[in-house]
Structure 1
Amino acid sequence: MTSVDPLAPRLPSPLQEVADERFARHGVRLLLKRDDLIHPDLVGNKWRKLVPNLRAAAGRPLLTFGGAYSNHLRATAAAGRLLGLPTVGVVRGEELAGRPLNPSLARCAADGMRLHFVDRSTYRHKHEPDALAAILRSAGAGDAHVIPEGGSNAAAVRGCTALGEELRDPADVAAVACGTGGTLAGLAAGLGPGRRALGIPVLKGGFLDGEIRALQADAFGGPRGAWSLDERFHCGGYARTTPALASFAADFARRHGLPVEPVYVAKLLYALLALTEEGAFAPGTTVAAVVTGAPFTG
């Protein structure tokens, strides 16, 4: 009897064409890369970034970082449950300790993740060796394999190159919403010549350009592929929204029967429609939007 790999994906993830006159009247063909269907527990780019890191962990406990509504924390907790590995989530915001857990953190805890809350100053310095060592000590996790915030490191970037390879033939432009930049760094590398990747940051701050360049340098030794960022669609910051964005997401869901994840996917699709209406894509362009997550149901 053969054992079932709990991390086995559904690959390649489906590619769905969307018939939407708002794009069609500008000569733009819109495809959805349904990475939200890639794995039931490790959704979308979380699967692509986490699996290489889980291999590197080689059975050790896992420690990673995130905010109170982090998709990455939920995915890491789920991976720990599936693999039988202890997990520690270092959560930004010491003031959250002792409060009732929000649904996202409650899911992490239900999957066995031990939550360790730190103040925001400590969290900002988590990449520094002394600060990281102090966090590991205070969390009682000195033997843990550390996965960075969002799962973005060289291993994750290399894992995301397959996403670009899967979109190489159907797409002229492959677009993805960005948090830490790891998915875009790998996507661009995998697309190959004559294709370009577009990133839509969901946080404000203008820091991702340098982060993506550093990730590609770590993963490949230098820049790979053609990519760009459009910083205009963060709607005020991570998990922030506007009435226009909420209205767009609800309308897109009604038109196409696809519930739209609000933190990443809504901003991506909203940006692609705005760019299409601005004439950013030449008539005849095929744009593939990577659906990196599904709405959280608690």
Structure 2
Amino acid sequence: MFEDIAQTIPYQKLPFENDQAIEITIKRLDQIHPQISGNKFFKLKYNFLEAQRLGVKNILTFGGAFSNHIAATAYAAHLFGFQSIGIIRGEELQHKTLNHTLETAKQFGMQLNFVSREEYRQKDNIEFLNELNLQFPNSYIIPEGGTNTLAIQGCQEILTANDLNHYDIICCAVGTGGTISGLIEASAKHQTVLGFSALKGDFLQTEVAAQTAKNNWKIIDRYCFGGYAKTQPELLAFIEQFEHQHRIPLEHIYTGKMLFGIFDLISKHYFAQGTRILVIHSGGLQGRKAN
């Protein structure tokens, strides 16, 4: 099912009238697949092909309670005949009713293992990963958010030749940095890749800089609304108005914050006259039911 589908992804140009002659077109990755939608399709593609090549039994990965990656990985593992294991941040969650994201993952067979936030911070530690390999032998480990070299390879396929020729700015939401790294690597010299961080802080600058030698990109964190999965009435009102006007579903963790930021920057004349913006809708719409 991981065939090349980039050429079939629909585009939706917004009827956006403004005195700056700015054009906004949304690339609807959210319509790729009902479960493995958006950027997750591209991030998981080569990881699952590698897991198949290695002949492992389990897919083990990491995420929080609202992780799009956890839900998508659970479904993909179910589809390909792997047992999926999710290391979930927050040991207190095991005593609460599962939210929609985690319940979806569980329904597709994912074994949820809740760990403390302190333990979760060891997710990139070699000793911790070795312990997980002992606890769950014959596993292929995918990092948090699915971001690794193979994920970046997959995300380069999001952009087509027409995307490279037609647009000036490419915008995406940023969580772990894998998607934007792939977009940067695939982008043309004249293009700028603009990332809207879902998290508070500028640490993603360092993460992404380690993945690319290009400098035609920037990450903005001023529209994170306090941090990951946090929101404010202003954001929720924008999402409701945007969906009513354009009939494009958003969620408050990633895509809503990105679109809010884009329109705010336009209002502040951030972009040059006549800029053509391509917005990557990275899916994650299960997050609409995450609370």
Among residues 117, 132, 135, which one is paired with 1:135 in the alignment?
A: 132
Among residues 100, 109, 114, which one is paired with 1:117 in the alignment?
A: 114
> 1:270 aligned to 2:265?
no
Q: Which residue of 2 aligns with 1:157?
A: 152
Among residues 279, 283, 287, which one is paired with 1:293 in the alignment?
A: 283
The one-letter amino acid of 2:25's match is L
Query: 1: CA distance between counterparts of 2:127 and 2:6?
Result: 40
> 1:237 aligned to 2:227?
yes
Q: Which residue of 1 aligns with 2:93?
A: 96
> 1:31 aligned to 2:25?
yes
CA displacement, residues 89-110 of structure 1 (integer Å, 9 cap, x when unaligned)? 0000111123321111110010
Query: 2: CA distance between counterparts of 1:215 and 1:152?
Result: 11
Task: Report the CA distance shift for 1:246/1:206 in structure 2 as closer, same or farther (over 3 A).
Answer: same
The one-letter amino acid of 1:142's match is P
SS of 2:159 mapped into structure 1: helix
Q: Which residue of 2 aligns with 1:11?
A: 6
CA displacement, residues 79-131 of structure 1 (integer Å, 9 cap, x when unaligned)? 01111111000000111123321111110010010011111111111101112
Query: 2: CA distance between counterparts of 1:160 and 1:10?
Result: 12
Among residues 139, 144, 149, which one is paired with 1:144 in the alignment?
A: 139
CA displacement, residues 153-202 of structure 1 (integer Å, 9 cap, x when unaligned)? 11111111122345212210000000001111110111121111000000
**Structure 1-normalised TM-score?**
0.91
Q: Which residue of 2 aligns with 1:77?
A: 74
Among residues 197, 214, 218, which one is paired with 1:201 in the alignment?
A: 197
Query: 2: CA distance between counterparts of 1:169 and 1:15?
Result: 15
Q: Which residue of 2 aligns with 1:178?
A: 174
Q: Is the 8 A contact 2:196 2:219 kept in 1?
A: yes
Q: Is the 8 A contact 2:6 2:159 kept in 1?
A: no
Q: Is the 8 A contact 1:262 1:295 kept in 2?
A: no
SS of 2:279 mapped into structure 1: strand
Give unmatched runs, 5+ long, in structure 1. Answer: 217-222
SS of 2:36 mapped into structure 1: coil
Q: Is the 8 A contact 1:8 1:39 kept in 2?
A: no
> 1:284 aligned to 2:274?
yes
Alpha-carbon RMSD across the aligned residues, in angstroms, is 1.5
Deviation at 1:142, TM superposition (A): 2.3
Query: 2: CA distance between counterparts of 1:281 and 1:205?
Result: 23
Query: 1: CA distance between counterparts of 2:63 and 2:159?
Result: 26
Q: Which residue of 2 aligns with 1:219?
A: none
Among residues 47, 51, 56, which one is paired with 2:45 in the alignment?
A: 51
- How many pairs were matched up? 283
Query: 2: CA distance between counterparts of 1:155 and 1:273?
Result: 32
SS of 1:289 mapped into structure 2: strand
The one-letter amino acid of 2:44's match is L
> 1:168 aligned to 2:158?
no
The one-letter amino acid of 1:41's match is Q
SS of 1:272 mapped into structure 2: helix
Identity over the aligned pairs, expressed in percent?
Answer: 36
Q: Is the 8 A contact 2:238 2:260 kept in 1?
A: yes
Query: 1: CA distance between counterparts of 2:146 and 2:214?
Result: 20
Task: Report the CA distance shift for 1:108/1:9 in structure 2 as closer, same or farther (over 3 A).
Answer: farther
Q: Is the 8 A contact 1:192 1:225 kept in 2?
A: no
Q: Which residue of 1 aligns with 2:63?
A: 66
The one-letter amino acid of 2:101's match is S
